[in-house]
Amino acid sequence: MNFDPGATPESVEWFRARGESPAIVSLSDVHGYLSAARNALTAVGETDEYPPVVRSDEDGLLHWAGNDYILIVNGDLIDRGDENRACLNLLERLVKEAPDGRVRYHLGNHEMAVLFPERFQWPGVYSIKMNESLRESFIRHVADGSIAVAFEGYRYTYSHAGDNEYFEVGRANRQASEASNQLLTMLQEARYRADQLDILSEYQLVFGVGGGFGRGPSAGLLWMDFEHVQQDAPPQVVGHSRQQRPTRTGQVLCQNVIRSNLDSSGGEAVLIEHPNKIVAVRNTPTDAVVTEI
């Protein structure tokens, strides 16, 4: 895997200090369904309000369209669908073509399974059966910070599952990096499979599952179920918990809509955050619809 964003700022303020105010496009829980990801991403350019995030070449491959966006893939890009490597290829291509820092890949609970396959052992899924050279390169990207956990937008903080309390984005990203550096040491010392679970308790902000089956109210940033989000939780954009359409609880927005719409025509969506508002762009059978949420 070759994922080099050039820069991995933890806040949109990094861009603002450079005189830039890009809109933030976020997409989550693609789960290996490449066509659904395509429908969500291309919907932006099918609106009257927005230039495209991506463009398609004559072979049907998506490319960075060169417009003023940050794209956040907010976890669970892989598993369940059958085009997992193609989804990773798409992200590798976009990050290569976009300016530094404009394409971000955040860990979800299924990316956690890439790092800690002995914790889950889900039968037959891509994160578990991934070849070991690809797994090691993925771990290296998390270790060096290229693949992160969270990002501070204009008003909303982005992570896969979120938290009911304010959390420090830098601390969350450091936890993932530090854990992955420990995993790399284990790989070098041929004890990765035997010892990987020993470090999980050190990094509960990110990797805590919230009980034996996960998703509990005490779970970390990759695992808490949206049903546990409190009305007074700080503003966040999350995925993880399936919805039919982008959904709000208090100031927290959940954008995990792809799997719930696989059997219908349309329904895929992205969120777009501006300095003064956030909207959903949903693909429909006839066009793309922009809705403030």
* Pairwise CA distance, residues 143 & 3, whole Å: 12
Q: What is the CA radius of gyration of the chain?
A: 18
| Cα four-point dihedral sign 34, 172, 196, 241 | negative
- pLDDT at position 121 is 83
Q: Where do the domains of the chain lie? A: 13-292
CATH class of 13-292: alpha beta
Q: Looking at residue 154, what DSSP letter applies?
A: S
Provide the edge-to-edge strand list for the sheet that holds 147-148: 147-148, 103-106, 69-73, 23-27, 269-273, 278-283, 288-292
Q: Which runs of consecutive H residues, i.e. helices, occur in the chain?
A: 13-16, 34-43, 84-97, 109-115, 117-120, 126-129, 132-143, 169-188, 192-195, 204-207
Summarised one tens digit per residue, pLDDT across range 247-282 is 999 999 999 999 999 999 999 999 999 999 999 999
Q: Look at residue 213 in the predicted model and tell me its pLDDT.
A: 75
Instruction: Please list the residues that pair with 292 across neighbouring strands.
Output: 279
Residues of the chain with pLDDT under 70: none
Q: pTM above the 0.95 mark? A: yes
pLDDT of residue 214: 82
Distance CA 65, CA 51 (A): 9
Residue type, 46: E
For residue range 24-35, list pLDDT tens digits in order: 999 999 999 999
